Structure 1
Amino acid sequence: MCDCDWYSRFEGKIVGAIHEFVIAKEWQGKGIGKKLLMTCLDFLEKCSDTIELWVGEKNFGAMKLYEKFGFVPVGKKGIWVRMVRRRQNL
């Protein structure tokens, strides 16, 4: 889900957010995640200069994908890593 009205207590403002981004195991590695992420980013960039998401600390494949699209890890809470993409960093 892509959300343009997410209040980030970490950023102290409304940001774009990606929630529950999941690709079924049998469909991973086929470019579907990349295509869906690009669609989310196209949508979210129209409403915010900052986009955040949380990913499991051991989900290295997802983190690698997010990093390819300009997300950087900026914090951690429990097993979750917070990643942010800021327009000025692209």
Structure 2
Amino acid sequence: MSVGVSIRRATLGDAQALAELGAVTFTETFGHLYKNEDLQAFLKKNHSPQAYEEILADPAWAVWIAEAPDGEKMGYVAAGPCGLPVPEMPEKSGELVRLYLLRAHQKSGVGGRMLATALDWLEKNFDHLYLSVYAENYGAQRLYQRHGFVKIHDYFYKVGEHSDPEWIMQR
């Protein structure tokens, strides 16, 4: 249940917590897909405190953290300029870059609240909205479809030697 859960804008002081959440949630959801050395290299590059400090310091980006009443960090959502391989991408295109929630809190309504928060910000700052989702992450696909996203393109996302089939969705 999402009662009492707060969703607040992340600050530079949250970089370590975001790195930990990012590594845990990515591994919970996708870790089984990769060789350990590929996974560890990916986490070191994409889910380090330094990686989050760069995002948090960039005014073109926004990150929010979901916290339980006891202060537990449950997940986060990140949004910014679109970096996806969208064919003929229009100007002022934004992307829901990450929506990560600890497995224990999935299906509680928190993910939907985080998504709504990020979409509100994206709509105020960009004219076109995109996201990428793993082709076999059916729960996430349903969530995005409920929020008006439709699949427009396929591509592959590399993690080490592994290529993940992904959908690009647009709203």
Considering the TM-score relative to the shorter chain, is it more than 0.5? yes
Q: In 1, are the aligned partners of 2:134 and 2:167 still within 8 Å (CA)?
A: yes
Q: Which has the higher strand share?
A: 1
Q: CA deviation at 1:6?
A: 3.0
CA distance in 2, matches of 1:59, 1:8: 18
- SS in structure 1 opposite 2:126? coil
Deviating 4+ runs (over 4 angstroms) = none
Choose the corresponding residue for 1:16, options 67, 83, 94: 94
Q: Does 1:6 align with 2:82?
A: yes
The counterpart of 2:168, out of the listed 60, 82, 86, is: 82
* Alignment map for 1:55-70 (pairs within 5 Å): 55-70=133-148
- 1:34 aligned partner: 112
Could you say which structure has the greater relative contact order, defined with CA pairs below 8 angstroms and 6 or more residues apart?
1
Q: Of the two, which has the highest radius of gyration?
A: 2
CA RMSD of aligned residues (A): 1.5
Whether the aligned pair in 2 keeps the contact of 1:15 and 1:52 (CA below 8 Å) is yes
Question: Which stretch of structure 1 is more off in the superposition, 8-17 or 39-48?
Answer: 8-17
In the aligned structure 2, how far is the partner of 1:25 from the partner of 1:8? 26
* TM-score, with structure 2 as normaliser: 0.46
Q: Deviations over 1:39-71 (max 9, x none)?
A: 001101001221101000000000000000000
TM (normalized to structure 1)?
0.84
Q: CA deviation at 1:30?
A: 0.2
Question: What count of residue pairs does the alignment treat as equivalent?
Answer: 84
Long gaps (5+) in structure 1: 86-90
The answer for unaligned runs of 5 or more in structure 2 is 1-77, 157-164
